[in-house]
Amino acid sequence: MKSKVFDMIEKERQRQENNIELIASENFVSDDVLRAVGSCLTNKYSEGYPTQRTSGNRGRYYGGCENVDELEEYCCSLWRQVFNTDYHVNVQPHSGASANLAAYMSVLKHGDTILAMSLDNGGHLTHGSPVNFSGKLFNMVFYDVDASGRIDMQDVRAKADACRPQLILAGASAYSRTIDFKAFSDIAKSCGAYFMVDMAHIAGLVAAGDHPSPFGLADIITTTTHKTLRGPRGGIIFCRPELASKIDSAVFPGCQGGPLEHVIAGKAIAAAEACSPEFAEYIHNVVKNCKAMCDEFISMGYHVVTGGTDNHLFLLDLTETGLTGKDVQNELDKHRITLNKNCIPGETRPPQLASGVRIGTAAMTTKGYTASDFVKVAHKIDDIIRSMK
Ligand code: PLP
């Protein structure tokens, strides 16, 4: 039975080795991250926080935590270094969704109003989708994008003035443009709302200086560690020091039990890697490659949402081809090109079909692809799409 499992893992290893991976939220971690995540730390229970923690809650509910205490504190200090910040850090969230749940629970009450970006426009499920806890627990109001697909800051201001939200959220899963955190922060201040940034997708770009930083502007910042940050699957929350206790209590015991110390070790390794000049160089290449590939699609006549990209991803609007995102995703799968169908602004199809596909360059840049490799892949995708019409 065990060998069957290892066979399945091996098959997945080969798939990852052989396919062209364009899913914007995926990446390939280093052997050191894999080693840390596969370590004996998976055996350890450590509910609570390191006893020597200098901000937020402290103290564990189990014995034998001296090593994981040291690890978790070190991990937090490394992440502060990555973003050059003195914000409080909580590295325990199991995922981006858990980080967002805890962030909301730390400062909001059931029924409070959140102003965010809807899923159709590029937001995430946890940004208020009616099928998610966020849409069920809170009163969601969504700001719009303009005709080109860019966030409409006038609409953000008008909606904030009208609904007086308790929290304004910036950040997205499928948005290819720079987000103006300063403008969001000014609006949040003017209506007395908390300002939260979910930088899950662009965190690597923020670390490398390729996207403006939300630190110093946002009250709470959440991220995943497995996308452009190239770490293990997981979440992190940063907050202003005065919110440290609320955030820590919301994570544990509010939303989670024991932290995954093996994943925290992986997060520490990823942070150490993200501090290096090689990581900044890698992210610069991700952005350069993304622009090259996106420009190639535009020159072949494709409609790209917002007309281009400033980051690691872009969205192809397939409406004019008559094909759904699902059709294209499935056909590309047969040619070992992996991406995901995605809703586009003003979407008319259900999300299971969708009218667009999302393309990202973080994973294949890790594998050494250059701008000219991505241009070749754009032509390969175009050939496949043409053959489907
Ligand atoms: N926030 C954003 C902006 C995301 O794009 C994602 C995942 O794609 C998440 C949160 C959730 O992360 P996870 O899948 O780890 O729960």
Q: With residue 360 as reference, give the H or E element that holds it.
A: strand 356-360
Catalytic position from the list 44, 60, 177, 233: 233
Q: Answer yes or no: is the C-beta of 198 below 6 A from any ligand 1 atom.
A: yes
Pair 246, 115 in one domain: yes
Q: Which tokens go with 62?
A: 């189990």
Residue 12 domain-assigned? no
Using the structure block, give the residue that is written with the tokens 């670390």. 207
For position 389, what pLDDT does the model report? 75
Residue 143, pLDDT score: 97
What's the average model confidence in pLDDT over 18-31? 98
The domain boundary, picked from 274, 291, 326, lies at 274
- Whether residue 64 is found in the same domain as residue 117: yes
> Any catalytic annotation for residue 21?
no
User: Is the CB–ligand 1 distance for residue 122 below 6 Å?
Assistant: no
What's phi and psi for 360, nearest 5 deg?
-130, 155
Residue 4 covered by a domain: no
From the CB of 173, is ligand 1 less than 6 Å away? yes
Is the residue at 25 inside a domain?
no
Whether 9 maps to a domain, the answer reads: no
Using the predicted structure, report yes or no on whether residue 319 has a pLDDT greater than 90. Answer: yes
**pLDDT by residue (tens digit) across 290-310?**
999 999 999 999 999 999 999
Residues 81 and 200 placed together within one structural domain of the fold: yes
- From CA 185, how far away is CA 206, in angstroms rounded? 17
Write down the pLDDT at residue 55.
85
pLDDT at 56: 87
DSSP letter for each residue of 199-246: -TTTHHHHHHTSS---TTT-SEEEEESSSTT---S-EEEEE-GGGHHH
Q: How many angstroms separate the Cα of 203 from the Cα of each of 60, 214, 283?
A: 30, 10, 10
CATH code for position 358: 3.90.1150.10
Residue 159 domain flag: yes
In a domain, 82, yes or no: yes
pLDDT, one tens digit per residue, over 266-294 is: 999 999 999 999 999 999 999 999 999 99
Specify whether 386 is catalytic: no
Q: Tell me: do 123 and 61 sit in the same domain.
A: yes
Q: Is the pLDDT of residue 368 over 90?
A: yes
Q: Provide the pLDDT confidence category of residue 222 given band limits of 50, 70 and 90.
A: very high
Asked whether residue 324 is assigned to any structural domain, the reply reads yes
Q: Is residue 24 part of a domain?
A: no
Owning domain of residue 347: 278-388
Q: Report which residue type is found at 73.
A: E
Strand partners, 174: none
Both structure tokens of 92: 């325990």
For residues 98 and 143, membership in a common domain is answered with yes
Could you tell me the CATH number of the domain that includes residue 193? Answer: 3.40.640.10
* Residue among 126, 140, 138 at smallest CA distance from 97: 126
The number of domains in the chain is 2
Q: Which of 258, 274, 290 is the last residue of a domain?
A: 274
Find the mean pLDDT for residues 95-113: 98
pLDDT tens-place string over residues 167-206: 999 999 999 999 999 999 999 999 999 999 999 999 999 9
Cis peptide before 50 (omega within 30 of 0): no
User: Rg of the Cα trace of the chain?
Assistant: 21
Note whether 299 and 348 are same-domain residues.
yes
Indicate whether 190 and 325 sit together in one domain: no
Considering the domain architecture, whether residues 209 and 354 belong to the same structural domain is answered as no
**Same-domain status, 211 and 356:** no
Domain boundary among 274, 300, 322: 274
User: What pLDDT, on the 0 to 100 scale, is given for residue 341?
Assistant: 97
Q: Which of 53, 159, 177, 227 is catalytic?
A: 227
- For the cut 90, the answer to whether the pLDDT of residue 54 exceeds it is no
* Predicted local confidence at residue 52, as pLDDT: 86
Computed over every residue of the chain, the mean pLDDT equals: 97
Same domain, yes or no, for 114 and 210? yes
193/106 same-domain check? yes
Cβ 141 vs Cβ 166: under 8 Å: no
**Alpha carbon distance 145, 122 (integer Å):** 9
In this structure, the answer to whether residues 305 and 262 fall within a common structural domain is: no
pLDDT at position 129:
95
User: Has 224 been annotated as catalytic?
Assistant: yes
**Does residue 13 surpass a pLDDT of 80?**
yes
The atom number, within ligand 1, closest to the CA of 98 reads 16
45 catalytic per annotation: yes
Pairing of strands 139-143, 113-117: parallel
CA–CA separation, 68 vs 331, rounded Å?
46
The pair of structure tokens assigned to 6 is: 């290892």
Catalytic site includes residue 282: no
Would the CB of 170 count as within 6 Å of ligand 1? no
